[in-house]
Amino acid sequence: MENLLNTLAEKYNTDKKKSVHNYTETYFSIFNEKRLYINNFLEIGILDGSSLKMWRDFFTNAQIYGVDINPNCSKFEDERINIRIGSQDDASFLDSSFLQKNILFDYIIDDGSHISSHQIKSFEFLFNNCLKSGGLYIIEDTCCSYWKSHQTDDDPKKTCIEYFKSKIDEINFYGFIKNEVYDRNNKYLLENYPNPTEFQKKIKSINFLNSLIIIEKF
């Protein structure tokens, strides 16, 4: 099957295309079947607007939203591309732009600053409040977790990669308790995960790929 998404990526010259990051191969495999049924799509990070145009042409029935801190990105707005200017790690901005307007997204992609603290803050707000049940939250270029230039904290355990590694443990320990399949007398489980948070209960799966993390919501 022809990869329509990569064809569009080539047309608009976004670095998601096969010859650069090749994210389009992964995205086509998970998006193609549902692409006509997507209502709202958000991408953090606009740059030259090329990927927003790709998404607009791929998700033909969706409203496409883009977030960027650069006010010049407003020029990329059109009938189906909606631009919001602000910082991805500013919860009040995200709240006023989306939550207060009752906008829920089918898919969210973070291709913004690639700074770990920004990626984590955006995820915690948008995943909890603005992603539909069954939706996907994707963080791109997670290779930056290994670069000091993209960290705001000297602690290597506070990178985006390490943050989501910890979520793997939370998901699995919650599963042990919820299904009552494993030993309920396990002292470690009972002391450390007696009551999963609402946030933990919303994560269905986490998939790690090369430079991508894909999180599915219950």
How many domains does the chain divide into?
1
Phi first, then psi: what are they for 62, rounded to 5°?
A: -105, 155
The answer as to whether 170 is a domain residue is no
The answer as to whether 62 is a domain residue is yes
The answer as to whether 174 is a domain residue is no
The answer as to whether 69 is a domain residue is yes
Give the domain CATH number at 30: 3.40.50.150
Q: What percent of the chain has pLDDT over 90?
A: 73
CA neighbor of 216 nearest in space, from 208, 205, 207: 205
End-to-end CA distance of the chain: 30
The answer as to whether 176 is a domain residue is no
CA dist 170 and 138 (Å) reads 19
CA dist 111 and 24 (Å) reads 14
Q: For residues 82 and 97, is the Cβ–Cβ distance under 8 A?
A: no
Catalytic residue among 21, 114, 118, 150: 114
Q: For residues 85 and 74, is the Cβ–Cβ distance under 8 A?
A: yes
The answer as to whether 178 is a domain residue is no
User: What pLDDT is attached to residue 166?
Assistant: 86
pLDDT for 121-167, tens place per residue?
999 999 999 999 999 999 999 988 877 777 766 666 689 999 999 88
The answer as to whether 13 is a domain residue is yes
The answer as to whether 171 is a domain residue is no
Structural domain of residue 109, as residue ranges? 4-151+202-217
Phi first, then psi: what are they for 15, rounded to 5°?
A: -75, 5
CA dist 81 and 12 (Å) reads 15
CA atoms within 13 A on the CB side of 186: 14
pLDDT for 41-61, tens place per residue?
999 999 999 999 999 999 999
Annotated catalytic residue 114: yes
- In DSSP notation, 3-29 reads -HHHHHHHHHT-TTSTTTT-HHHHHHH
Query: Order of strands across the sheet with 81-85?
Result: 81-85, 63-68, 40-44, 105-110, 131-140, 212-217, 203-209
Mean pLDDT on 76-92 = 98
Question: What pTM, to 2 d.p., does this model score?
Answer: 0.89
Examine the pLDDT at 89 and tell me if it is beyond 50: yes
User: What pLDDT is attached to residue 181?
Assistant: 47
User: What pLDDT is attached to residue 192?
Assistant: 60
